Structure formats: C-alpha cells, structure tokens
Amino acid sequence: MGNLKEINRRRTFAIISHPDAGKTTLTEKLLLYGGAIQVAGAVKSNKIKKTATSDWMEIERQRGISVATSVMGFEYQGSKINILDTPGHQDFQEDTFRTLTAADSVIVVIDVAKGVEPQTEKLVKVCRMRKIPIMVFINKLDRPGKDAFELLDEVEQKLNLKVTPLSWPIGMGADFRGVYNMHFKSLNLFNPGSQVIEESIAFDNLDNPELEEYIGEKATELREDQELATGVYPEFEVEEYLAGDISPVFFGSALNNFGVKELLDVFVQIAPSPTGRETEERFVDPNEDAFSGFVFKIHANMDPNHRDRIAFVRVVSGSFKRNINYLHVRQNRQLKFSSPTAFMAQKKSVIDEVFPGDIVGLHDTGNFKIGDSLTEGEKINFKGMPSFSPELFKYVENADPMRSKQLAKGIDQLMDEGVAQLFKGKHNNRKIIGTVGALQFEVIQYRLEHEYGAKCRFEPINLFKTTWFVSDNEEQLEDFRARKALQIAIDKEGREVFLAESQYSLQMAQSKYSDIEFYFTSEF
C-alpha cells in the first residue's frame, strides 16, 4: 500500500480518432504544456522541418500518418501523465486495440467539419465494451464546420455516448472568437496565429454586460446557446464519467494550441488513476504490494544503430524496480533488467522504479510476446490480447539471395511486434504474411529494407480467411488434415491454421467437420 500516493497522481490514457482528425497534433500540444518538448512539430508541413515527436519512424514522417503507437510521459500540475498516441489508420487498428488494454481512459478527437467517422465508431465501440471512461475533443474550430448541437447529436447517435459539454464554442471558422469553459466558468479568447499560452478570463455570469466588450455581437448567441445546452444536456457527474456512462465534450483547435489547456486541466482533475486488470486466475488491484504487469506492444529497432527490441510493459500493481528478478510467467523463468526505460516517444531514459499506470520499456532479446505476464513470482495470465484473423494475404519472397539471414531475422522480429502474422505452408514451406490492412505490406517492405538491409517482394495468393482449429475428435482431425493438406499452414507459435480460399469452402469445412472448432482470434 506504500505506492498509494504515486498511484493516485498517475493518469494513463490513449488518444484515438479517425486519420487526420488532429490526434497527433493534440498530443504534441499536451506535451508542450507538460514541458516535455519546447517546440511543437507539425505532422504534415513542408515548411516546418520539425515533425511530430510521436511520429518518429521514418515512414511516419514521409506519409504524415501514425503507423505505430507511441508512448510519452510527462509531469503536469503534480500529476504524472502517460499518453499513448495510437495509429488512426484502419490498417493499424490491431495495434490500437491492444494499446487500449494498457489505457485507463480515452480522449476521442473529432474533426468539426467531418464529424464522427467510421474508424472512430469502431474504436469507441471497443472502449464502450470495456467501460473505459471517454472524453471528446472536437477539433479544428478555426475552420468552418458543423453546428455544435448537430455535432453533439451525431456523437450521441453514432458513438452511442451520453454527452455533456464542458466548454462551448463562440463562433467557428473565420468567425471563431474562442470558447466558454462551462466547468471552470471562464472565457478563453482566440488569437489567430498565436502559439502563446494565454490566461483565461474568469467569467461566472454570462448576463454580465462586460461580455459584449470581449466578444461583441457573439454575446447574445453564446447566452442563448448556453441556456439551451443547460436545458438539453445533463449536469456533469464525475462518478458517471468514471463508470463510462457519460462523456464530457470540449471544443478547440489543437493546431492553434487553443482549448488544449482547458482539456488538460479538467482531465487531470477528473480522469481515473490507474485501475486494476482481470487475469485468467483473479482480479489484480493496483494497490497490491507485489509487482505485476503485461506486455501490450513490442517494437524492433527503436534505435537503428543498436538494432534493439523493446517490450512495452504496463505496470498493473506494485512497483517495477531495476536489477530485480521477475518471473516471466509463460516461460517460467526469472529475468533481470539492468536498463528499464521510460519513454518520450523514441527518446528513452533509464529509470530505477516505476508505478502502476506507468509504461516501462524492457530491452528484449526475443523472450517476450504480446500478452506475456511479468510478476514477482505469482503465476497469473492477463486477459484481452487477441491476434485477429488476417484479411489480406501475400506470399513473401526473398528479393536478394545474399541477404536471406537479414530477411529471416527482420520478418521474425516484425511479426513479434504484432504488425502482421506469419504462416508457413505445411506442404510447400512457403511463407505467407497475413495482415488486416493493405498499408501494412508497404510498412513491412519499407522497414525490412531500411532497418534490416533486406529486400522482399510479395506475390498474390487467393485466400479468404485463416482460422485456427482444434478438436478432441482425433478421427475427424486426421481426415481434415489429409483432405485439406494443401490448405494447412503453421503459425509462428507452431499451431495449425486452415487457409480457407473462399467463404464457401470455410462454411463447407465447418458443416462437414462438426466436431472441429474453428477460431477467428488466437485467444482460445
């Protein structure tokens, strides 16, 4: 129980959105407030040479999108903030789903002009299933967009969230004058082009005639909107937010650094401190003295000069200390870590102790897989880290026979990251890579060449789905293996996988072999 103070001051959250809603820009501005960076970078700009801190992979800088989750920590007003900036692109949603298992709350970023987009719907659905507290930040108010009431209706209907605004926009686009903070009762005026952090004006009575001095003719509009909003939306209750039953909404412009401080100030006040996690054996409470944690992400080559592999571990209970032996539950062996690291995107610093809610990076020589548990000795297995059945498949071939070792090592390490899955045909030993999105093939090819010095080419293969299969009926299994010999492969863990060429062939197999269970995620 000695860690209670440290636990209570931590806030670990993920930022999710559809691509281009401004998620990475918002992350940059939050880091700016925390003093973690001195200058915020643009995610896309030819004029600005500095790129976003969280988009540190070369391919991210070139494409202007996030393709891997970044972890960043900083101190703000006595709280330790841990941000998980996730990829918005649907081709990398599996990385985002896994990251959500490490977050205690979520901020959803929505573009004021585009409103709620399909990728946001999918991600919020996962958060709702897990009852993760959600805040909404409606971004890009300095551009023309949808009416505030219309947007809030859309959020309620499409995301199935009960919302309550804690700030309100004054105008929009070229007409944008600022926001009124309903939580702190303050007026925050927008100064176009200014990246300076400005103080807000305390303003608890909108009937005060001084309001006209600050926002002119917009004063009447703000008063009417506030009266209507107060009548339509429920009062904000922290308990309801923490239970995942109500979502506070904020308005602003991350690019212009506007509305971000208000969001952060409220977030620090109300967001949950680290919560416990379910294991197959029992529920683990963060206040327990014994350390436990799980690997939710693995990343190869964060430092290309050292070819290092880092396992990202979310600390669930106790505290993780440097140079102490911990049990790797799956391998049933003790491991000691001499240089555990804290993150500021790709910048790392060695730390001596971390607490529940923190993310610690462990140098890995190939011991860890996503989902692995690390404890002080108790054998527990954290739940909720599936690999999904891929939807796109290609044969992978060596394009440079002189670099076959580098290619094998590169593919091996990238598959461990969970960016894709590798299957080897039982009858021909050909390697098949399966992904949930087409862009992943491009990322794999790029990273193999630039990080491992290996070249590959992809060849098409006609596949509909891969499914894992198991059965107690040995007779049916043997018959299935014999008849489907050309369509059976082995995954990276040595498990058999059925490569279904069409929906029809999968349905036929399921109906003919009724005692065989077919699984579409690896968690079974």
Per-residue pLDDT, 154? 93
What is the rounded average pLDDT for all residues in the chain? 82
Same fold, 277-375 and 392-519: no
Per residue in 88-130, pLDDT (tens digit) is 444 445 667 778 888 999 999 999 999 888 778 878 887 888 8
Per-residue pLDDT, 46? 34
**Is residue 480's pLDDT more than 90?**
yes
34-48, 140-154, 394-408: which has the minimum mean pLDDT? 34-48
Do 84 and 71 meet the contact criterion of CB atoms below 8 Å apart?
yes
What tokens does 121 get?
């719907």
Percent of the chain past pLDDT 90, that is, above it, reads: 35
Burial pattern 502-515, b for ≥16 Cβ within 10 A else e, equals eeebbeebbeebee
Mention every residue, 6+ apart, whose C-beta is less than 8 A from residue 91: 435, 436, 437, 438, 439, 440
Q: What would the mean pLDDT of 316-339 be, rounded to a whole number?
A: 93
**Is residue 298's pLDDT more than 90?**
no
Per-residue pLDDT, 126? 77
For residue 257, what pLDDT band results from cuts at 50, 70 and 90? Answer: confident
Q: What would the mean pLDDT of 328-346 be, rounded to a whole number?
A: 82
Mention every residue, 6+ apart, whose C-beta is less than 8 A from residue 177: 170, 171, 189, 190, 215, 216, 218
**Domain 277-375 belongs in CATH node 3.40.50.880:** no
4-8, 180-184, 250-254: which has the minimum mean pLDDT? 180-184
Mention every residue, 6+ apart, whose C-beta is less than 8 A from residue 402: none
For residue 451, what pLDDT band results from cuts at 50, 70 and 90? Answer: confident
Q: What would the mean pLDDT of 151-166 be, rounded to a whole number?
A: 92
Per-residue pLDDT, 290? 94
Q: What would the mean pLDDT of 189-199 be, rounded to a whole number?
A: 61
This prediction has a pTM of 0.76
Do 69 and 85 meet the contact criterion of CB atoms below 8 Å apart?
yes
Domain boundaries, the chain: 15-66+90-95+104-270, 277-375, 392-519
CATH of 392-519, one of 1.10.10.10, 3.30.70.3280, 3.40.720.10, 3.40.50.80: 3.30.70.3280
**Is residue 177's pLDDT more than 70?**
yes
Alpha helices in 9-117 (DSSP H): 23-33, 58-63, 93-100
CATH C-level class of 15-66+90-95+104-270: alpha beta
Per-residue pLDDT, 62? 47
For residue 459, what pLDDT band results from cuts at 50, 70 and 90? Answer: very high
